[in-house]
Structure 1
Amino acid sequence: MAASAAEGKSVSATGLSPIGIAGRGASVPFKEIEAEDASTNGTVIGPDRVYGQLPSEASGRRAVTLDAVGEYVDFTLPAAANSMVLRYSLPDNAAGTGRDATVAIESGGQKLTDLPVTSRYGWYYGGYPFSNSPGSNPHHFYDEVRTKFSSTLAAGTTVRVRVTSVSASPTFTIDLADFEQVGAAGTAPAGSLNVATAYGADPTGAADATSAIQKAVNDGAAQGKTVWIPEGRFKVTGHIVVNNVTVAGAGPWYSVLTGAGVGLYGKYVADGGPSTGVTLKNFAILGEVKERNDNDQVNAIGGAMSNSTVDNVWMQHNKVGAWMDGPMTNFVIKNSRILDQTADGVNFHQGVTNSSVQNTFVRNTGDDGLAMWAETNDNQNNAFTSNTVVAPILANNIAIYGGENISVTKNVVSDTVTNGGGIHVGNRYPGVQGATAVQGTFDIGENTLIRAGNSDYNWNFGVGAVWFNGLNEPINATINVHDTDILDSSYEAIQFIEGSTSGVHFTNVKIDGTGTFALQIQSPGSASFKNVTATGIGAPNPVYSCTGANFTIIDQGGNGNWLTSTPFCGPWPTPVYGGGGGSTPTPTTPTPTPTTPTPSATPTTPPPANSNLAAGKSITASSYTDVYPAPNAVDGNASTYWESANNAWPQTLTVDLGATSQVSRLVLKLPPATAWGTRTQTIAVAGSTNGTSFSSIKAATGYTFNPSSGNTVTVPVTATQTRYLRLTFTANTAWPAGQLSELEAYSS
């Protein structure tokens, strides 16, 4: 039980806010107040960044829990407002079907409304793609609800959120409230086609309006007239297909399309698309999606639309806000809000070119907030500009999977929860390789990242606020990261992992506060650094690397002394927080576009003596399963591992040492966790100087991995000159597959 209703207290602000950073992020029409910064007699929870904990998904990683009648949060309005969005969480019920309740919204001792709240849109369990059946790995706790007041409340007015009963829900956790002065409803353009008065669409939402609205849209396209959605709540149960038409509403607080399956879709290319000349503006699309099913087309906006615009559209409770399947070009989303999705906020998927998301606010997505995925068909010349992306529950705030000449600028991202970072560039996911891989020039500039990055529950180590991954093939492009502020990172600020990455240039970057490292290197490659400062670093050493000379750090000056030539290589440290705090930050002043460093620049990381010859090197496997690919076996982290396909002996791992070297000893490791019980694997070792003809170095032998000795075995071999090492696995007493977390090779 929390404090009594008479014991109200104010909680001072400590966390950086993603709202109101000059020149960056979306220009939003609301004022935001975190519950923990308001007056309350409830219990402040957090801060906590551990996945699966209630405060870890809260904006700012703190919230207020109310668990008794009379407990409240008092929000004092910084400006006049006539509406509120409340972000909150209720516990799930035992069946996983959700619970419904109400809280009282009061001001000056008078009730404004009984606000309905629910857990039906949250609470997922298990592993991807997740289920609604209660069990392990609960997540996606929060939801949002909006309400308009009957009149405008003046600045300085207190709005109270108060518990009046705990019979329907034992607790109510309040994260924040957004207060907005909503203008009057818009009026229909002259000559427009009114879906209600002219086509019979029911504005009360009682009758299905799908066919009526589709007829209006078809006529609007044929007659060159705007289709008007008046004030009302229109039930739509399927896709409205749009082409060469403008669909407009009275504003997203007034004109609402809602229902199971609601969505406005362009024509797919396979069906004669893309659609073209579409404008969607000034209304809301509020879905009824309560599960994650990637086979369902229940997105707010979808299909293919060229030369088209989405402007001031509110998207909530869909699977994805806008999943756009190309080929298509010149598509813009702007001035919009995307909230409470079960998957991505926006995804530009395959063959989307010359398109952008601008000045859009995204919060509480179940996957990437904003993404581009160049699967099979290349994405080119796209931009994410001046957006704010808060609390994606899985994956990244902003992710770019492949593509050419991409821009990610003037965005604010915050509070990544797990399995992702703030801004990610990668050759990852199916179809991202060759012609669709990262190429050309990427402009990643003038962004602010707050509490970004977090722990990956598959990898069991931190993911960077800014990170790069060359899993499918090496990244070798010009990627300029400049004039950027990386603040209070949950783990490392910058990360390179899997495959290799080259051509990244950091210029005028401020790192202020990390849980662990400023720079975490887990794969080969190179990067230049100029005027990059790093303070408030949680780990004793600001750089992590076990790759030795395989990653070249080019120090172009102005970096201070954090770019050490003796990085840390060892167990992952527990994050330590405390840096990056304070009030709303002033953005780093932009500088001219960074230039490519001169080839004569000197690496600052020399290879250590008798180093692990296999660290970070190119490695292939005969097979792998799930998220356990071959590069995990040379990434310097014993907690990650390669695992082959089941019941398919023999299985091989082949590492290219990069040059012919003397090998006299191998060290083989499995994860040190005690959950990895004792097992014996039968392994043969072979070598080659050309990668084609292999000769035996060590005959097949059973090696016992025992957690009491760190699950590590040493394999002495006769000194051999070789470039390629191949391990062949033919048996495993504990699992029907080959498994290895580290393959280390030494000259002595």
Structure 2
Amino acid sequence: MLTSLVLALTVSGAATAVALSTAAPSVRAEAVQAPSPLDVKDRGAAVPFKEQEAEYASTNGSLIGPDRIYGTLPSEASGRQAVTLDAVGEYVEFTLTAPANAMSFRYSLPDNAAGTGRDASIDLKVDGNQLKSVPVTSKYSWYYGGYPFNNNPGDTNPHHFYDETRTRLGSTLPAGTKIRLQVASVADSPSFTVDLADFEQVAAPAGKPSGALDVVGDFGADPTGAADSTARIQAAVDAGKAQNKEVYIPEGTFQVRDHIVVDKVTLRGAGPWYSVLTGRDPSDRSKAAGVYGKYAAQGGSSGVTLKDFAIIGDIRERVDNDQVNAIGGALSDSTVDNVWMQHTKCGAWMDGPMDNLTIKNSRILDQTADGVNFHQGVTNSTVTNTFVRNTGDDGLAMWAEAKPNVANKFTFNTVILPILANNIVTYGGKDIVLSDNVMSDTVTNGGGLHIANRYPGVNSGQGTAVSGTITAARNTLIRAGNNDFNWRFGVGAIWFSGLNEPVDATLNITDSEVLDSSYAAIHLIEGATNGLHFKNIRIDGAGTYALQIQAPGTATFENVTATHIAQSNPIHNCVGSGFQITRTGTNSGWYADPPACTGTWPDPVWTNGGVPQGGGDPTDPPTDPPSDPGNLAKGRPVAESGHADVYKASNAVDGDAASYWESTNNAFPQTITVDLGSAKAVERLVLKLPPAAAWATRTQTLSVSGSTDNSAFTTLKASAGYTFDPNSDNTADVALTGTPTRYLRLTFTANTGWPAAQLSELEAYTGQ
């Protein structure tokens, strides 16, 4: 099950009378609530961390964004928002929602004038006390120019602004602990932009398996990283193969300056937070840390397991001919499990022919090119339950250049912020499955999900074109698609290209949702695409069109619904009858006859979190609920009788159980009213308080009323007491009869825990 995004807000002064804090209330950025890729049920990777976005945390810094314009700092931030700290003492402070002993955070520093990067540090404080200074750098960020990128700050198109670093906290800190990133000096960097933080409880290092060979104890590898350990680790791996023994990498940082070549061996570490391979040849920059199978021309490798370690490289540029990937070569009948890949060119670039590789339970971060690429002749192979963020090119890709890719799968992955190109793509390929994934925040020159006869070597003459059945089921795309700076028009969240030759296969796109697409939701271009079948698709928010048709083809649409499409005509189609649409089942919101065919492309209007962005006015209230399956109240306009300090009513509909509304104290009765946008048959309310141990059990007395005009209210539920118990997540359910209601009002008359109404979430549903 997915780990949900939890957004932080200090709860001091509101739990019980004895817990009242006299400190000034925390400052909070007025961020636009945006759907999170880590809050999609039963899809994407089951990550081991709890994520908090800086824009929702306590801060005295400056909110940036939301913005999706290529080349701007917020455009590459998660959710397209972040916080900039540019003075000594400025901070972002997160409140732990679960115990943690380690954290990663995503940040950006401005580049130096030479384009070579700068080093700095930021203070890490725990409950106000200094824990450590964490080094940060811009050396792995800031690319310039169009592809192929250079390192000339005078060139145009700066991008790839962010990096991530990780640090351990020294001990397990309980839920409720405040973790602050604070500027101590601006001497080395004039500003620090914080995007997010991931907090996790890391298990103790795993010991050496019985009978395993130890790269330190048996072969003398240097765990301090001072000496080059390449030859010693290679000797251990070779001995492991010869003796049929596992090879163990104990805790340490090991300098590796070239490929460790593996075949018929298990290479296992103490855990990716403990066993780290890093390094690069000081003179030959085409050699760097990586674990590779033998290439197919050398017979390939098989029977390999790589598990429980990290490869954190030193790659700061993209040179396509350099084999400086974390994992590469040909690995048949092999497994990569729980490997952390960062600061390499690609996480895994696999060159076939090869068969039956599984990459699972891994993290791929901050690459200069692809996260994973199954490159030609890769068959029956899978990437699953893997988290990918901030790749320099496609997040997860299959490219059947010259040799067919057959029966590969990308399933249950979360792919966020590819800085160039697509979240997930197959260039050619037969009988491919791309399902149960979450894709979000495409930056430029690509979409979320792409299926194409595109790029060299992809054609039917070599058997490499798209063929058989392509299954793309149960995917969620959030803020996907973006502007192509070459084409100068938008690329769709889901898009198809027949550039090399027409796509002629069975393409089943089913049971999926496209949320807040930056431009079109569905897009065809560069050549015909036939055999498209869309079934059970929900489009909620498109910056331009539901369909952008720039090439001929055929498609069936069954049970496809679209809402919040920026253009009044939801289809752009200048190929006319060249694109044939067949409609079956129930469809709404996306079809028009005739479609639009304009000589200019409209500016996008983004609906991040239900608030218009881009071409819209960000100050306008949302007109309909943002994308949140089921909960009718999330992100809706809300009114109140009053609030204390910073605890305003919008906190009760922001999707964040850690933030809350607290009414004016000692002034019962108090009310909160949510506008659902239109009359809805509400049958159930879920009321929440922050799920923290500091919030003692309390009973609140309240009634529920409703109105269709915000004037005459009728009682939907008589006044009664509802108990909020931390042992049951401080949650109470209220059953209603389904009376059509647009304006939903709760009236509070008592609270045994505090002399005010308190509510962190008001959720409304149409079903029991």
**Match of residue 415 from structure 2:** 389
1:180 alignment partner, one of 188, 200, 215:
200
Structure 2 residue 345 is the aligned partner of structure 1 residue 308: no
Superposed CA deviations along residues 52-78 of structure 1, whole A, max 9, x for unmatched, are 000000000000000000000011111
The alignment partner of 1:379 has SS state of coil
C-alpha distance in 1, partners of 2:71/2:589?
Answer: 37
2:294 alignment partner, one of 247, 252, 267:
267
C-alpha distance in 1, partners of 2:392/2:53?
Answer: 21
State the TM-score, normalizing by the size of structure 1: 0.77
C-alpha distance in 2, partners of 1:361/1:162?
Answer: 28
C-alpha distance in 2, partners of 1:550/1:47?
Answer: 38
Q: Percent identity?
A: 64
State the Cα distance separating 1:6 from its structure 2 match.
Answer: 9.3
Superposed CA deviations along residues 557-592 of structure 1, whole A, max 9, x for unmatched, are 31125311111111100001226647884499xxxx
C-alpha distance in 1, partners of 2:326/2:191?
Answer: 31
**Match of residue 57 from structure 1:** 76
Matches within 5 A, 1:219-258: 219-258=239-278
Structure 2 residue 507 is the aligned partner of structure 1 residue 487: no
Change (3 A) 1:561 1:418: closer
**Match of residue 621 from structure 2:** none
**Match of residue 358 from structure 2:** 332
Unaligned runs of 5+ in 2: 1-23, 281-287, 611-624, 632-768
Structure 2 residue 108 is the aligned partner of structure 1 residue 89: yes
Change (3 A) 1:518 1:583: closer
Unaligned runs of 5+ in 1: 589-748
State the TM-score, normalizing by the size of structure 2: 0.75
2:152 alignment partner, one of 116, 133, 142:
133
**Match of residue 76 from structure 1:** 95
2:569 alignment partner, one of 523, 538, 541:
541
After the TM superposition, list the runs of 4 or more consecutive aligned residues in structure 1 that deviate by more than 6 angstroms. Answer: none
C-alpha distance in 1, partners of 2:403/2:608?
Answer: 42
Matches within 5 A, 1:451-462: 451-462=479-490
State the Cα distance separating 1:13 from its structure 2 match.
Answer: 5.5
Contact between 1:22 and 1:586, CA under 8 Å: does it hold in 2?
no
State the Cα distance separating 1:427 from its structure 2 match.
Answer: 0.2
Change (3 A) 1:168 1:580: closer
Contact between 2:318 and 2:369, CA under 8 Å: does it hold in 1?
yes
Superposed CA deviations along residues 336-389 of structure 1, whole A, max 9, x for unmatched, are 000000000000000000000000000000000000000000000000000000
State the Cα distance separating 1:133 from its structure 2 match.
Answer: 1.8
State the Cα distance separating 1:131 from its structure 2 match.
Answer: 1.0
**Match of residue 148 from structure 1:** 168
Judge which range, 555-564 or 392-401, deviates more: 555-564
Change (3 A) 1:584 1:524: closer
Matches within 5 A, 1:364-379: 364-379=390-405
Contact between 2:32 and 2:608, CA under 8 Å: does it hold in 1?
no
C-alpha distance in 2, partners of 1:540/1:391?
Answer: 29
Contact between 2:32 and 2:66, CA under 8 Å: does it hold in 1?
no
**Match of residue 467 from structure 2:** 439
1:162 alignment partner, one of 182, 195, 217:
182
The alignment partner of 1:197 has SS state of coil
Change (3 A) 1:213 1:513: same
2:130 alignment partner, one of 85, 92, 111:
111
Q: Number of paired residues? A: 583
Superposed CA deviations along residues 668-722 of structure 1, whole A, max 9, x for unmatched, are xxxxxxxxxxxxxxxxxxxxxxxxxxxxxxxxxxxxxxxxxxxxxxxxxxxxxxx
Change (3 A) 1:492 1:578: same
C-alpha distance in 1, partners of 2:279/2:126?
Answer: 32
1:121 alignment partner, one of 140, 150, 168:
140
C-alpha distance in 1, partners of 2:172/2:547?
Answer: 49
1:515 alignment partner, one of 539, 543, 552:
543
Letter aligned with residue 455 of structure 2: Y
C-alpha distance in 2, partners of 1:57/1:13?
Answer: 16
C-alpha distance in 2, partners of 1:587/1:285?
Answer: 41
Superposed CA deviations along residues 58-113 of structure 1, whole A, max 9, x for unmatched, are 00000000000000001111111111101000000000110000000001221111
Letter aligned with residue 324 of structure 1: M
Letter aligned with residue 494 of structure 1: I
**Match of residue 36 from structure 2:** 17
Change (3 A) 1:438 1:585: same
State the Cα distance separating 1:40 from its structure 2 match.
Answer: 0.7
Contact between 1:76 and 1:156, CA under 8 Å: does it hold in 2?
yes
C-alpha distance in 2, partners of 1:131/1:321?
Answer: 21
C-alpha distance in 1, partners of 2:595/2:385?
Answer: 40
C-alpha distance in 2, partners of 1:7/1:20?
Answer: 25
C-alpha distance in 1, partners of 2:32/2:262?
Answer: 46
Contact between 2:432 and 2:469, CA under 8 Å: does it hold in 1?
yes
1:528 alignment partner, one of 543, 556, 578:
556
The alignment partner of 1:455 has SS state of coil
Letter aligned with residue 421 of structure 1: G
Q: CA RMSD in A?
A: 1.4
State the Cα distance separating 1:127 from its structure 2 match.
Answer: 1.0
Superposed CA deviations along residues 212-252 of structure 1, whole A, max 9, x for unmatched, are 00000000001000000000000000000000000000000
C-alpha distance in 1, partners of 2:605/2:302?
Answer: 51
**Match of residue 603 from structure 2:** 574
Change (3 A) 1:56 1:489: same
Superposed CA deviations along residues 113-152 of structure 1, whole A, max 9, x for unmatched, are 1000000000000111101221211000000000001111
C-alpha distance in 2, partners of 1:502/1:195?
Answer: 54
Superposed CA deviations along residues 437-457 of structure 1, whole A, max 9, x for unmatched, are 000001100000000000000
Contact between 1:448 and 1:587, CA under 8 Å: does it hold in 2?
no
1:554 alignment partner, one of 575, 582, 602:
582
C-alpha distance in 1, partners of 2:626/2:339?
Answer: 31
1:44 alignment partner, one of 57, 63, 66:
63
**Match of residue 21 from structure 2:** none
Superposed CA deviations along residues 588-607 of structure 1, whole A, max 9, x for unmatched, are 9xxxxxxxxxxxxxxxxxxx
Change (3 A) 1:359 1:587: farther
C-alpha distance in 1, partners of 2:56/2:609?
Answer: 18
